[in-house]
Structure 1
């Protein structure tokens, strides 16, 4: 009986120690995310896309439902002085672009408004508004403590589109 009691007590101590370690890791991840958001120096790497109009996905081959996998290389890059985006677009455009190279979401601007707020669960909602003579777009990025993020892009001239991916610290050599 004493051996059983000792084994139970030992198991309880081990489980308690591992939960303390997990809580400490979670606090560390939240602090790292807070620094990342406040520094305005990160990159969102898009992995999946969901257009607002689902019938557009009927023309995409090998499609499973509404979620479309993306090849690597699509991103939203945020710096304190600039925002750059290279994202695909599927959906309805209400006005035609001026050139054939303006089909996706291609942005490189220094004129933007950046704001963020944290909720009680440690998630951040980041808003980036871009207004210039060429386009008006709003980016809303929701980031969790595991750095998994969702990005909604709204434009005056196009239907909304959503992306899912991850947020990472931006390296110096990234665009």
Structure 2
């Protein structure tokens, strides 16, 4: 009988211990997410960051791996510059221009930022008028993972996934 009681007590202790460990891991993960979200929010609010896509999702097509097709969307000082590959339908294009990507540079208009503390995400939208009109919607998660959707007057919608980070300083010589 003593052996059964001892075995029962050891079993209860063994059952309680892993649950406490799981609770601690979950708490640590939430704290880590909160720290990453604060860092990401600080980066976006600084107004100076770069988005580098690793996958493109053209409308009505398969996703395309961009690890060998470098592109970027850079936001600095109320201006945006983009040079990302484009896959999809162009409604109007200049013949022989050689500018097949989502290339634009200009002042950011109609900027809006919405912060969702519960989901630890940021919705950042703005418009750029260069040779065309571009509406950019960025959904930024707590670790810097970002989804960028671009709407244009002359091209079908395209979405990119990637990460935002601090832009590298360009050395002027």
TM-score range normalised by the length of the shorter chain: 0.7 to 0.9
Normalization by structure 1: what TM-score?
0.81
Once residues 164 and 34 of structure 1 are traced to their aligned partners in structure 2, the CA distance between those partners, rounded to angstroms, is 18
Once residues 100 and 162 of structure 2 are traced to their aligned partners in structure 1, the CA distance between those partners, rounded to angstroms, is 21
The aligned residue for residue 17 of structure 1 is: 24
The aligned residue for residue 101 of structure 1 is: 98
The aligned residue for residue 146 of structure 2 is: 149
Paired residue secondary structure (1:95): coil
Give the greater-gyration-radius structure (CA).
2
How far did residue 173 of structure 1 move? 3.4
How far did residue 81 of structure 1 move? 3.6
The aligned residue for residue 88 of structure 1 is: 85
CA-atom RMSD in angstroms: 2.1
The count of residues paired between Structure 1 and Structure 2 equals: 161
Once residues 162 and 15 of structure 1 are traced to their aligned partners in structure 2, the CA distance between those partners, rounded to angstroms, is 37
Once residues 47 and 95 of structure 2 are traced to their aligned partners in structure 1, the CA distance between those partners, rounded to angstroms, is 31
Residues 103 and 12 (structure 1 numbering): CA distance in 2 closer, same or farther, change over 3 Å?
A: closer
Query: Which aligned segments of 4 or more residues in structure 1 are displaced greater than 4 angstroms?
Result: none
Report the structure, 1 or 2, having the larger strand content. 2
The aligned residue for residue 45 of structure 2 is: 38
Normalization by structure 2: what TM-score?
0.81
